[in-house]
Amino acid sequence: MEQVVMNTALKESESLLSEIEHKSHVDVKKCYQCGTCAAGCPVSYVSDFTPRQVVKMLQTGLIDEVFKSHMIWLCIGCGNCVARCPRNLNIPHLHDTLRILSKEKGYPCAEKDVDIFNDSFLKTVQYTGRLYEAGLTMLYNTRSGHFMAGMDVAPGMFMLGKISPFPHLIKGRKEVANIFKKMREMKGAK
Amino acid sequence: MKIAYYPGCSLESTGKEYHFSNKLIAKKLGIELWEIPNWNCCGASPAHQSDLFLPIGLNARNLAIAEEEGLDVLAPCAACYNRMLAAVEAVNNDEDMRKKVNESIGRDYKGTNTAVNMVQFLHDMVGIDKISAQIQKKLSGLKVACYYGCLLVKPPALTKYDNPENPQSLDRIVEALGAEPIVWPYKTECCGGGLAISKTEVILKLSNDIFSMAVASGADCLVTACPMCQLNLELRQAATEKEYKVKYNMPVFEISELVGLSFGFSPKELGINKHFVKNDAFLKEKKLA
Ligand code: SF4
Ligand code: SF4
């Protein structure tokens, strides 16, 4: 991380921080940095920052760094942190919000595979109404370049009749498509 | 008793056996599972990680169909259950959100119903007494690590169910079946299911932590109430063993499968033969097959 002048960073980030707080309903000022969240987080060992550090960076205005961090993409939403936080900060929802905002603002995503996986998953839901596993695997593998991802376990799944090569098309597809449409309208309206 | 039933995508595919056993035991308990017609995917983590509105809209549609029927929803997948609760809360706390949701789904969802998970359903709504009354075969000799996983009891402000660090309800059901729920500290640790495809190495570490603790605490199998936990812990077990040079070979059951075995259903009827960790020898040894 390059050198930063603290009070300048804080001033410059004010409006962005209030947008984050408003959308996530998390008041980052409440965190007193006890580190409980970091201690129980199952993914901090593979991440660049812990959840405590993410909050500290927000408090001090280092929002660029947060938007580029791996943590916001690696958080699996297990809820350990929020269950234990003495200040009751909803960290998983904060991470969700940070991911969404960082994408909207065009930041490069630190964990591309996670992003591609999410996007491929939602594409199958948008068109069929439900998750279409085989379609997801094809989309994910071609877009991520991991052509063999899941291939170690796929044959077993087919053998046990657990995944089908065909999608399951529900009758309410139009309603589901409308939910996606509304989502895009709301994004455009901001 | 009648309840709306939301299988969710995994129960139609990778978690089929959970679906079978839920339906079988419900019938035996005299409960009507009314499957939500044309239900859609809850969006799982990809939806809530990608948009603030999308997961609420997707879940509200399913909830609305159940509400029109005057029913609460039983969601056997812990992740679906969690997403549904978040949608109920969002709609009830934000009038503007409710309007937008209803415009998108073309229905009038009022937020009067809620979702329950499988353990909550069996423990609080059906009740231990009613379950005990149907038991034909005690599961004695089975040492079970009750694995609640993360989303059944967390975040506590949302689920408001059991204790997030040391929950007891699943243990009580297992005990009622005649098995022994062991005391262990990893009941609500995460198995990492959400990163299974995009970051498999994380899963291997987390599941190794879980299995090694279960073994150290004297368990010979795990029980869950979530198709994602069950799949993840069995499907990646071989890879975990290879990575950490250990041998667990530990079956992971769904709670409805254990209930079903105690009700006298065969492993085949319950779909237990569809598991990735082969359990025929295990069930024979425990005199359950
Ligand atoms: S547990 Fe809560 S108060 Fe403590 S460091 Fe984490 S967010 Fe801050
Ligand atoms: S919810 Fe995210 S940040 Fe919190 S403990 Fe789990 S993985 Fe870590």
pLDDT at A99: 96
Cross-chain residue pair B49–A160, CB shorter than 8 Å: no
Cross-chain residue pair A183–B57, CB shorter than 8 Å: yes
Average of per-residue pLDDT across B118-127: 96
Q: What band does A161 get if pLDDT is binned at 50, 70 and 90?
A: low
Average of per-residue pLDDT across B68-78: 96
pLDDT at B200: 80
Instruction: Note the pLDDT tens digit of each residue in B148-193.
Output: 999 999 999 999 999 999 999 999 999 999 999 999 999 999 988 7
CB within 8 A of B187, min separation 6: which ones?
B146, B147, B148, B166, B167
Cross-chain residue pair A131–B192, CB shorter than 8 Å: no
**ipTM associated with this complex:** 0.91
φ, ψ for residue B4 (rounded to 5)?
-70, 140
Mutate to test the pocket of ligand 2, among A50, A95, A98 (most ligand atoms within 8 A of CB): A95
Instruction: Note the pLDDT tens digit of each residue in A83-104.
Output: 999 999 999 999 999 999 999 9
pLDDT at B4: 97
Average of per-residue pLDDT across A29-38: 97
Tokens of B170: 């699943």
Q: What band does A141 get if pLDDT is binned at 50, 70 and 90?
A: confident
Minimum-distance ligand to the CA of A55? 1
What is the C-alpha to C-alpha distance for residues B209 and B227, in angstroms, rounded to an integer?
20
Under DSSP, is residue B35 helix (H, G, I), strand (E, B) or coil?
strand
Query: Which residues of A, range 47-106, sit inside 8 Å of B by Cβ?
Result: 74, 76-80, 82-83, 88, 90, 92, 96-97, 99-100, 103
Q: Are B272 and B233 spatial neighbours (Cβ–Cβ below 8 Å)? A: no
Q: List the residue whose alpha carbon is closest to atom 4 of ligand 2.
A: A81
How many residue contacts between A and B have a Cβ separation below 8 Å? Answer: 174
Cross-chain residue pair A179–B239, CB shorter than 8 Å: no
Instruction: Note the pLDDT tens digit of each residue in A162-177.
Output: 666 667 778 888 899 9
Average of per-residue pLDDT across A128-134: 81
Cross-chain residue pair B106–A43, CB shorter than 8 Å: no
Please provide the average confidence, as pLDDT, over all residues in chain A: 86
Tokens of A75: 């958080």
Within 10 angstroms of residue A136's Cβ, the number of other Cβ atoms is 21
Lowest-confidence region among A31-35, A153-157, B136-140 = A153-157
pLDDT of residue A153 exceeding 80: no
pLDDT at B138: 95
pTM of the full predicted structure?
0.92
Instruction: Note the pLDDT tens digit of each residue in B213-256.
Output: 999 999 999 999 999 899 889 988 999 999 999 999 999 999 99
φ, ψ for residue A131 (rounded to 5)?
-70, 135
Q: How does strand B221-224 pair with strand B143-146?
A: parallel
pLDDT of residue A150 exceeding 70: no
* Alpha helices by DSSP H, chain B: 8-12, 16-28, 44-50, 54-68, 78-93, 95-105, 118-120, 128-133, 156-159, 169-176, 200-216, 227-235, 237-244, 255-262, 267-270, 280-285
What is the C-alpha to C-alpha distance for residues B34 and B12, in angstroms, rounded to an integer?
16
Q: Are A71 and A92 spatial neighbours (Cβ–Cβ below 8 Å)? A: no
Q: List the residue whose alpha carbon is closest to atom 4 of ligand 1.
A: A34
Nearest alpha-carbon partner for A45 in A18, A68, A70: A70
Does the beta carbon of A152 lie under 8 angstroms from any beta carbon of chain B? yes
Instruction: Note the pLDDT tens digit of each residue in B23-42.
Output: 999 999 999 999 999 999 99
Mutate to test the interface with B, among A162, A168, A184, A187 (most CBs of B within 10 A): A162
Instruction: Note the pLDDT tens digit of each residue in A113-129.
Output: 888 888 888 988 888 88
pLDDT at B270: 93
pLDDT at A132: 77
